[in-house]
Amino acid sequence: MIAYSQYNPVRLADVPYWDFETDVAIIGFGATGASAAIEARQAGARTILFERSSGSGGASALSGGEIYIGGGTDAQKAAGFDDNVADFTAYLKLAQGPCVDDAKCELYGREALNHYQWLKNQGVPYRGNYLPGKVIEPIDDSTLIWSGSETAAPFYTKAKPAPRGHVIQHMGWGGGRPLVDILEARARDLGTQIELDARAVALIVDGKSIAGAVVRIDNTYKFVRAHKGVVLATGGFVFNEAMRRKYCPDSFRVKNPIGDKDDGIGIELGVSVGGDAIHMDQFFTTCPWTIPADQAHGVFVNVAGQRFINEDCYHGRVSRCAIDQPGGKVYLLLDSANFSQPFDLAGITIAGTGETWEEVEAELEMPAGTLSATMAVYNEHALEGRDPLFDKQPPILKPLDQSPFVALELNFETSFFSIFTLGGLKTSVDAEVLDRSGAPIPGLYAAGRCTSGLPAWGHGYSSGLSLADCTFFGRQAGRNVAMT
């Protein structure tokens, strides 16, 4: 028996027979694959969805079900936010930083309102209300939250802020599972054939075109003919240590991969036929330091007692910048007006306390005049409502002057810094997988975290960008492969 373990493509002429024949084969059944299936079926293409696990979900189902949508939604308007395509698009570009894909930002910027309507049309419920404050996910069933760095420097100076995190109506955390359930039901209703416990191991090539895939089911290789093409929707590679070592070694600074055993197979399959994997060094991380909410008023310092970020940024941006700091840990400084017991899950500990910042400094064994000078400068200006160093904004900007004071420790080894990868296949706005010259590989599409998409840059991540990317470009993949 042939071993397909290295993801080497199989030539069409070498395929002995077909176990499945279809127009479209989709690999992976998270939000990306489900969205692709819905569109492919609506375009009339026979569609089979192959999923490695015993059910749908992937990393999407482990998420909060939040989708980054702007440009003037009903929920934004009802809450009095006058968002528009230009500011929304500008923010998307800023959030991609040096990894920016202008065309993807512009397309999604223009189409997000239609995409929101599409989500509703599939049956995704939105309560429609706005939940103010700095929350990671709603603990009730609210729709609209601030989920990025919109109001923080430098973003607010270049794009008018608006909240854009749109969360499925679902009580509490974990809206990703019901979101995928709804998309799955829709895909099934539309006649998608679904094959579970089916692991893709190779693509089948006809010259330069993709003609199908080899999948393993019950320890047997099965040959799938996909007359129109294949959609890769397999997620990132955070659980593949060998890939991380080669392409994203800085991600080992933190310890908590999240996802559904994301092993990078879609990236490997795409590259095996000439696809281009880009920005493979980029990753998301966050430690939930804004829980309880008062902690959001804290000031971060590194082991040298220096601030390094305007702490009103998105918690993930702050966390990503935190792990750039030397010394393996950072401190979150709080006063008694803003302290309560840290969130258990976060693994955040109390490293020092004091009646003055000088006492905290001494307890942390920092040289005199370091942390205390930092806090003197911070408090002096915070009282005036400004932060000349990092441009942190009110109301998050508050002096920390109510003793006693405390320094919480976020330790890169022992605190809960979740992580997932952002690099992947380079795709067009039509979700075509591109080769290294920029040309589409005929018959091969991809979306979600096996691609470099809307959340391309770890330092610019905002909640909801990944599911926006998965669902919107998943749809692009499904529609475009069906129209091949």
Binding residues vs a copy of itself (CB under 8 A): 5-7, 97-99, 246-247, 249-250, 252, 268, 271-272, 276, 278-281, 304, 306-307, 324, 367-370, 373, 376-377, 380-381, 388-390, 426, 435-437, 439
Phi, psi of 267 (to 5 degrees): -65, -45
Which one, 176 or 458, has the nearer CB to a copy of itself? Answer: 458
> Does an H or E element contain 48, and which?
strand 47-50
Using alpha carbons only, how large is the chain's radius of gyration in Å?
23
Phi, psi of 175 (to 5 degrees): -70, -5
* Bridge-based pairing state of the strands 349-354 and 198-206: unpaired
User: Which tokens hold the place of 224?
Assistant: 């799938």
Residue 452 Cβ, how far from a copy of itself at the closest point, in Å? 9
Beta carbons of 174 and 167 less than 8 angstroms apart: no
Question: CA–CA separation, 325 vs 180, rounded Å?
Answer: 37
Which one, 97 or 128, has the nearer CB to a copy of itself? Answer: 97
User: Which tokens hold the place of 417?
Assistant: 């810094």
Residue 424 Cβ, how far from a copy of itself at the closest point, in Å? 12
Strand order in the sheet with 66-68: 66-68, 165-167, 144-145
Question: CA–CA separation, 412 vs 302, rounded Å?
Answer: 12
Which one, 30 or 455, has the nearer CB to a copy of itself? Answer: 455
Residue 334 Cβ, how far from a copy of itself at the closest point, in Å? 21
Residue 169 Cβ, how far from a copy of itself at the closest point, in Å? 38
- Rounded to 5°, the CA angle 288-65-97 comes to 65
Which one, 132 or 369, has the nearer CB to a copy of itself? Answer: 369
Which one, 341 or 437, has the nearer CB to a copy of itself? Answer: 437
**E strands present in 240-294:** 256-257, 277-278, 283-286
Residue 368 Cβ, how far from a copy of itself at the closest point, in Å? 8
- Candidates 410, 443, 416; CA nearest to 12 is 443
Residue 367 Cβ, how far from a copy of itself at the closest point, in Å? 5
Question: CA–CA separation, 214 vs 203, rounded Å?
Answer: 6
Which one, 190 or 389, has the nearer CB to a copy of itself? Answer: 389
Which one, 44 or 369, has the nearer CB to a copy of itself? Answer: 369
Query: How many CB atoms neighbour CB 86 within 10 A?
Result: 12
Residue 264 Cβ, how far from a copy of itself at the closest point, in Å? 10
Coil, strand, or helix at residue 215? strand
Residue 355 Cβ, how far from a copy of itself at the closest point, in Å? 21
- Candidates 308, 299, 360; CA nearest to 333 is 299
Residue 244 Cβ, how far from a copy of itself at the closest point, in Å? 10
Which one, 21 or 391, has the nearer CB to a copy of itself? Answer: 391
Residue 470 Cβ, how far from a copy of itself at the closest point, in Å? 22
Which one, 283 or 420, has the nearer CB to a copy of itself? Answer: 283
Torsion sign (Cα): 146, 149, 153, 155: negative
Question: CA–CA separation, 45 vs 481, rounded Å?
Answer: 9
Which one, 206 or 250, has the nearer CB to a copy of itself? Answer: 250
* Bridge-based pairing state of the strands 405-411 and 349-354: antiparallel
Question: CA–CA separation, 223 vs 433, rounded Å?
Answer: 22
Q: How many residues does the chain have?
A: 484
